[in-house]
Amino acid sequence: MTTIDFYAILPLIILVAWASALLLLDLFFTRKIEGLTPILAALGLLITLVISALNPVAGSTAFNGMIEADGFSSYLQILFAGSGIVGIALAYGYLKRMGINRGEYYPLLLYSISGMILMAQAADLIVVFLALELLSIPLYILAGIARPNPASEEAALKYFLLGAFAGGFVVYGVALSFGATGTTSLSGIVAAVDSGLANMPLLLIGAGLILIGLGFKVALVPFHMWTPDVYHGAPTPLTAFMAVGAKAAGFAALLRIFLAALPVLAGNFVPVFWILSALTMFAGNLIAIVQDNIKRMLAYSSIAHAGYIMMAVVAFGQEFVSKDAVASSLFYLLAYAVTNFGAWSVVIALERAEGKGLQLEDYYGLGKKYPVLAAAMLVFMLSFIGVPPTIGFMGKFYLFRTVLEGGYTWLAVIGVLTSILSAYYYLRVVVNMYMREGDPEIAPDRLVQLVSIVGALAVVLLSVFATPLFRWASRAVLNIF
């Protein structure tokens, strides 16, 4: 291991070490100081975040090309670590309140994030698989952490079975790609294709299987079946985190693999991506309309948003557009993360024990009784719809630009029309909050309310002063090619 190798995976090393130490330490924390675990976990993530942002060996590859430390990975690592911190803030009071305050929650979360951080850097199919498992397995456990709650157990089992299945697809795809090109490294695949030695049909099948596996992770229709049940059954703060982290990690792999290694297959995959994207946007938004449970509604909404991001990926094979494809996906992931955490924080504030407070009717009268919280939720819903001035609008603006640049006008039309479908169910929440009478209760959880308020401010302010974020997202693609 050279110095560059070391620095390249420094965030990963720190986080894994931190998580392991925390797992041990937690055993010795008495009741009195058990609140230390989440604080220490957040501290570890903060350190990881800072190091990822500094990115000391920016632009270099490590471990013989298996790991990339570029702008792309740095961007995503910051996103993952940041999401982790917010995820902890949301979980802190919630786990206590629901009586599931188990110390291993936080170390497991850190392990999962370390998998995501590795995923952002993966430049080799083997590493992709490794990262995928590292990020997934802790999530399986976390989904079931509310045991003996049957919904939570069901979520864990379902997530595990389908996730393992998806992992199988990825592994099989990696194997076939290796058979086709004689290598698992992304740059090696490009070289093999260029030299004409690659077995193209085999590579095509391999790539298809990888796509299916990752499609499970990011919840593309028709690989989305697990999402509503798992999002519904898992503890809400974890759902909030999964909706951002797991999705972003899946897209990180998808973007890196298809843009860096497989643009040659664009002819085959563009129609597939096109259909997947259209189907996901349409089905996700359509099914969300009939949901009465806010967790399920947001689950379908998260499916739909995967479809929006997928729109940008459709243009992956076009040299001039692919930069925008990456940058707009990255920006949208950030916009989605901020909005998503905000929306879930309101859900958490209203949730009560035994899954109460999660129906859409439970939002009746929120605008009158808790105007600040309701206003925050309003901002998040508008951001999800894509109404200016919110960051969700800026994200969609850039996404649709990419799609039109790629020449996929009809896909863009489907995209905007499905966003009207989405307006219908997001507005339902607003209608319930402001236009109906009711007497909702919220949990006295300062941390959660802080996330709501800061989130709402961020959604609006980051859209008005969005230039630095757009620059950051654009810089993040420079080294990928």
Give least dist CB 371 to another protein, A: 8
- CA angle 97/102/108 to nearest 5° reads 120
Complex with another protein: residue 26 or 324, whichever CB lies closer? 324
Least distance in angstroms from the C-beta of 427 to another protein: 6
Q: List the alpha helices (DSSP H) in 55-185.
A: 71-97, 105-121, 125-143, 150-181
**Min separation Cβ 374 and another protein, Å:** 10
CB of 239 to another protein, least distance (A): 27
Closer by beta carbon to another protein, 92 or else 398: 398
Question: Least Å distance between CB 443 and another protein?
Answer: 24
391: helix, strand or coil: helix
- Residue 352 or 368: which CB sits closer to another protein? 368
Residue (62 or 477) nearer to another protein, CB: 477
Question: Which residue, among 155, 156, 169, 183, has the nearest Cα to 64 in the 3D structure?
Answer: 183
- Point out which residues bind another protein (CB under 8 A): 323-324, 327, 367-368, 371, 382, 385, 387-389, 393-394, 397-398, 400-401, 404-405, 409, 412-413, 416-417, 419-420, 423-424, 427, 431, 434-436, 466-467, 470-471, 474
Sign of the torsion angle spanned by Cα atoms 132, 138, 143, 149: positive
Closest among 427, 433, 397 to 412, alpha carbons compared: 397
Looking at the DSSP bridge assignments, the partners of residue 62 are 67
Neighbouring residues of 82: CB distance < 8 A, sequence distance ≥ 6? 45, 49, 337
Determine the Cα–Cα distance for residues 366 and 346; give it in Å rounded to an integer.
11
| Main-chain phi, psi angles of 352, to 5 degrees | -120, 175
> What does 17-82 look like in DSSP terms, one character per residue?
HHHHHHHHHHHH--GGGTTHHHHHHHHHHHHHHHHHHH-TTTTEEETTTTEEESHHHHHHHHHHHH
Closer to another protein at the Cβ: 413 or 454? 413
For another protein, the closer CB: 246 or 477: 477
Least Cβ distance, residue 359 to another protein (angstroms) = 18
Least distance to another protein from the beta carbon of 316, Å?
16
If the CB atoms of residues 54 and 417 are measured against another protein, the closer one turns out to be: 417
Report d(CA 348, CA 355) in Å as an integer. 11
Sole residue written with tokens 């009071």? 93
